[in-house]
Amino acid sequence: MSNDIKTQVVILGAGPGGYSAAFRAADLGLDVVLVESRKTLGGVCLNVGCIPSKALLHVAKVIDDAAAMASHGVTFGKPEIDLDKIRSWKDSVTAQLTGGLSGMAKSRKVTTVYGYGKFTSDKTIVVEGNDGETTTISFDNAIIAAGSSVVNLPFIPTDDPRVIDSTGALELKDVPAEMLVLGGGIIGLEMGTVYKALGSNVSVVEFADQLVPAADKDIVRIYTNYNKKKFNIMLSTKVVAVEAKDDGLYVTFEGKKAPSDPVRYDKILVAVGRKPNGHLVAADKAGVNVDERGFINVSKELRTNVPHIFAIGDVVGQPMLAHKAVHEAHVAAEVISGKKHTFEPRCIPSIAYTDPEMAWVGVTEAEAKEQGLNIEVANFPWAASGRAIASARTEGKTKMIFEKETGRVLGGAIVGINAGELLGEICLAVEMGADAEDLALTIHAHPTLNESIGLAAEIFEGSITDLP
């Protein structure tokens, strides 16, 4: 059977980009159709990304915090892990949020079509429905919000159930005794944190000379030192071959920390990045240019080279983050509705929800040097924070990057517990063009970790000099 729909706006993909665009466009009075190939709304982020990973990281944190209490006089028993219950708790978290989205779509009268959509011209999309029905959608405007997919490596078997990607890791089928995380980026480290807390021995191999290469070295060094006993970390090392045998996956490494013989693992998590889905929507039929990697180039209004077709989220470029997709979505929907708006943020925060967390925003120190900016860096070590000492987590630090002449906040990074939550103040400072004096004169509550931001500003101002 075939249906025909005519709409002002059709959106391909219902991740954070797609659903945010749909809701904003509907709130602005537009007629909206949202097309999604999954059974639920929410895209990668809600179904197999941000949210389920944080649900499992919450479990890991409680396990780790409970174990750490032994040195403060409270000993809990060995945790009893019930994987089925953990899994169903995680699934209930995602179901609550994806279900909430479909309620929000209904209340806004957004039409949802479940199936895979492809352009057939610059005015039509055909959706092969999950229910076997075909829907032809004629549109005035389209937004491509097709997201990204995991990258596989050619020399690693993808048909072996012992080789998993982030989606497989979130399924939590078992807790392997020996696990290799291939790729020391944010996703690999977050999932490694979960499996380590649940009982796996976790090794991490990273080709670069530091984990999370996008963050400043001094921030990552603190994370790495804190975790060097927890994980076997192999930097400047790469996997060159994987042999699947009955008793395990034998991995051959090359590089600085490469073991001389192949090492046996029960599971390998491949976390080497994500590729944009630009090539999967038949964009050429609409005349939309897609580069060879799958990215779609857009203007500040999020228009592709075809002015009534927009693109947002992971498919338009780095950083591939949910909050970037949401803000782009709002701009695209508002431009379609006739408002004047552009996507020109001063900063987009990045957070690794690891233990300790690493969070940074604005310019990093390395980027500032590359760009020849005249900066001054102020570091506040958490060894001097009453709250960090009382929480027995003094490894962290708050680092602020100021423009030397004016004191304007250009960026900042935090490594330590709750770094992700603490980063918000620095984001606001960068976006609003605040300077060190604004932060130093703001009364931060005591004792909080958040004080460290004001104190770093005082260091820049020269009013604190006697740090440990």
Binding mask 123-152 for ligand FAD (x = CB under 6 A): ----------------------xxxx----
**Distant-in-sequence, close-in-space partners of 435: CB < 8 Å, separation ≥ 6:** 402, 406, 407, 408, 409
Q: Which is nearer to ligand FAD, 14 or 459 (CB)?
A: 14
Contact positions with ligand FAD (CB under 6 A) in 11-30: 12-18
Smallest separation, CB 114 to ligand FAD (Å): 8
Smallest separation, CB 181 to ligand FAD (Å): 12
Contact positions with ligand FAD (CB under 6 A) in 251-310: 277, 280-281
- In angstroms, what CA-CA distances link 398 with 226, 323, 416? 16, 23, 8
Pairing verdict, β 350-352 and 231-234: unpaired
Q: Is residue 110 involved in binding ligand FAD (CB under 6 A)?
A: no
Counting residues that bind ligand FAD (by CB under 6 A) gives 37
Output the 3-class SS for the chain. CEEEEEEEEEEECCCHHHHHHHHHHHHCCCCEEEEECCCCCCHHHHHHCHHHHHHHHHHHHHHHHHHHHHHHCCCCCCCCCCHHHHHHHHHHHHHHHHHHHHHHHHHCCCEEEEEEEEECCCCEEEEEECCCCEEEEEEEEEEECCCEEECCCCCCCCCCCCEECHHHHHHCCCCCCEEEEECCCHHHHHHHHHHHHHCCEEEEECCCCCCCCCCCHHHHHHHHHHHCCCEEEECCEEEEEEEEECCEEEEEEEECCCCCCCEEECEEEECCCEEECHHHCCHHHHCCCCCCCCCCCCCCCCECCCCCEEECHHHHCCCCCHHHHHHHHHHHHHHHCCCCCCCCCCCCCEEECCCCEEEEEECCHHHHHHCCCCEEEEEEEHHHCHHHHHCCCCCCEEEEEEECCCCEEEEEEEEECCHHHHHHHHHHHHHHCCEHHHHHHCCCCCCCCCHHHHHHHHHHHCCCCCCC
Smallest separation, CB 291 to ligand FAD (Å): 16
What residue type is assigned to position 276 of the chain?
P
Smallest separation, CB 234 to ligand FAD (Å): 22
Q: Which is nearer to ligand FAD, 20 or 210 (CB)?
A: 20
The residue annotated as part of the active site, out of 58, 308, 330, 446, is 446
Contact positions with ligand FAD (CB under 6 A) in 50-69: 50, 53
Q: Residue 163's beta-bridge partner residues? A: 268
Contact positions with ligand FAD (CB under 6 A) in 150-169: 166
Q: Which is nearer to ligand FAD, 320 or 434 (CB)?
A: 320
- Binding segment for ligand FAD (CB under 6 A), chosen from 46-54, 261-269, 371-379, 394-402, is 46-54
Binding mask 171-200 for ligand FAD (x = CB under 6 A): ----------------x-------------
Q: Which is nearer to ligand FAD, 396 or 420 (CB)?
A: 420
Q: Which is nearer to ligand FAD, 183 or 381 (CB)?
A: 183
Q: Which is nearer to ligand FAD, 147 or 176 (CB)?
A: 147
Q: Which is nearer to ligand FAD, 17 or 381 (CB)?
A: 17
Given 33, 44, 222, 430, the residue binding ligand FAD (CB under 6 A): 44
Q: Is residue 37 involved in binding ligand FAD (CB under 6 A)?
A: yes
Provide the token pair at 371: 């760009």
Given 58, 65, 116, 130, the residue binding ligand FAD (CB under 6 A): 116
Given 5, 8, 38, 461, the residue binding ligand FAD (CB under 6 A): 38
Contact positions with ligand FAD (CB under 6 A) in 321-350: 321-323, 325
**Distant-in-sequence, close-in-space partners of 73: CB < 8 Å, separation ≥ 6:** none
Smallest separation, CB 125 to ligand FAD (Å): 8
Smallest separation, CB 116 to ligand FAD (Å): 5
Given 11, 33, 34, 35, the residue binding ligand FAD (CB under 6 A): 35
Q: Which is nearer to ligand FAD, 50 or 440 (CB)?
A: 50
Smallest separation, CB 345 to ligand FAD (Å): 14
Q: Which is nearer to ligand FAD, 115 or 262 (CB)?
A: 115
The rounded distance, in Å, linking the Cα atoms of 424 and 431 is: 11
Is 58 assigned a catalytic role? no
In the complex, the residues that contact ligand FAD under the rule CB under 6 A are: 12-18, 35-38, 43-45, 49-50, 53, 116-118, 145-148, 166, 187, 277, 280-281, 313-314, 320-323, 325, 353
Q: What are the catalytic residues? A: 446
